[in-house]
Amino acid sequence: MTRTVTSTMSLDAAGDARLILAIAVAQGHDADERLTITLDGRPLAPTELIDAHGTRLHSVDVTAGRVDVTYRAVVTGAAEPAAASALDEVTYLRPSRYCESDTLAQVALAEAGGRTGHDLVRHVAALVHAQLAYVSGSSRPTDGAAATLLARQGVCRDFAHVVVALLRALDVPARVAAVYAPGLDPMDFHAVAEAMVDGRWWVVDATGLAPRASLVRIATGRDAADTAFLTTIGEPVELVSMEVMAVAEALPQDDPAVAVALT
């Protein structure tokens, strides 16, 4: 499957600042790509940083002015499924800032019904899909899984946080992945969960808004704190505009009963 992904954004920097972008496809993909960053029309050269999961961060220092970012990649084929390690199992069973599995333990236990493995993962995904409404702009950047369950609505990152928190509370290692998502409507960066079952990572998308087999990994981490598309250090930086697009030559059918790995 060939997938073409693009992201563009314009930002206004008030002064000296460092931008850390997580918009490039993750390491391991066969991608023909181009990233350009300009400050008031002058090109800037970013530094690439790669984390343990293959997330490719691009760091660039700017001064006051208009920053324009353009990224485009044509991704051919699929990357190898993410490896699952013993350290992953420890890391992704712990509560984190947006996935308060300790707070939601009793809720999770009440819903588990003795299920295990893929059956449990499918049940949690279906439960979150049924209990939450997808409403653009309905949540705050500081909302975690507990706040989302109380509000009964959210966006993709909120759905992912609830899935991850409930699974961790049930001793299933789980994490969040930022992805490009062909078929997504409305189009944007997308967030999904991944669950470790039988020593492998499997993608879980309780929103059901895009076929899982078409997704392209960008970043991986404990929750949205690790997978944000933009982090800034220094003087204020305002996001003026952004556009994300992801298309595939053919969108696959997505059967919720079938386990899919994010590649």
For CA atoms 87, 89, 90, 96, the dihedral sign is: positive
Output the average pLDDT for the chain: 96
13 within some domain = yes
260 within some domain = no
Q: What is the pLDDT of residue 233?
A: 98
Stated pTM of the model: 0.96
111 within some domain = yes
Judged against a pLDDT cut of 90, whether residue 201 lies above it is answered with yes
* pLDDT interval class at 79 (50, 70, 90): confident
Long-range pairs, 224-228, Cβ under 8 A, ≥24: 224/98, 224/157, 224/160, 224/161, 224/176, 224/191, 225/96, 225/97, 225/98, 226/176, 227/22, 227/55, 227/176, 227/177, 227/178, 227/191, 228/22, 228/178
Q: Are residues 184 and 108 in the same domain?
A: yes
Q: What is the pLDDT of residue 135?
A: 95
Q: Are residues 92 and 219 in the same domain?
A: yes
Q: What is the pLDDT of residue 263?
A: 82
Q: Are residues 11 and 93 in the same domain?
A: no
Q: Are residues 99 and 187 in the same domain?
A: yes
Judged against a pLDDT cut of 90, whether residue 65 lies above it is answered with yes
Please state, in angstroms and rounded to a whole number, the distance separating the CA atoms of residues 189 and 218. Answer: 9
Write out pLDDT tens, residues 7-32.
Answer: 999 999 999 999 999 999 999 999 99
Write out pLDDT tens, residues 148-180.
Answer: 999 999 999 999 999 999 999 999 999 999 999
168 within some domain = yes
Q: What is the pLDDT of residue 1?
A: 85
Q: Are residues 62 and 136 in the same domain?
A: no
Q: Residue 39 belongs to what domain range?
A: 2-78+230-247
Q: What is the pLDDT of residue 80?
A: 87
DSSP 213: G
253 within some domain = no
CATH code assigned at 113: 3.10.620.30
Residues 214 and 88: beta-carbon distance below 8 Å: no
Comparing CA positions, the residue from 182, 164, 172, 171 lying closest to residue 227 is 164
Number of independent structural domains in the chain:
2
254 within some domain = no
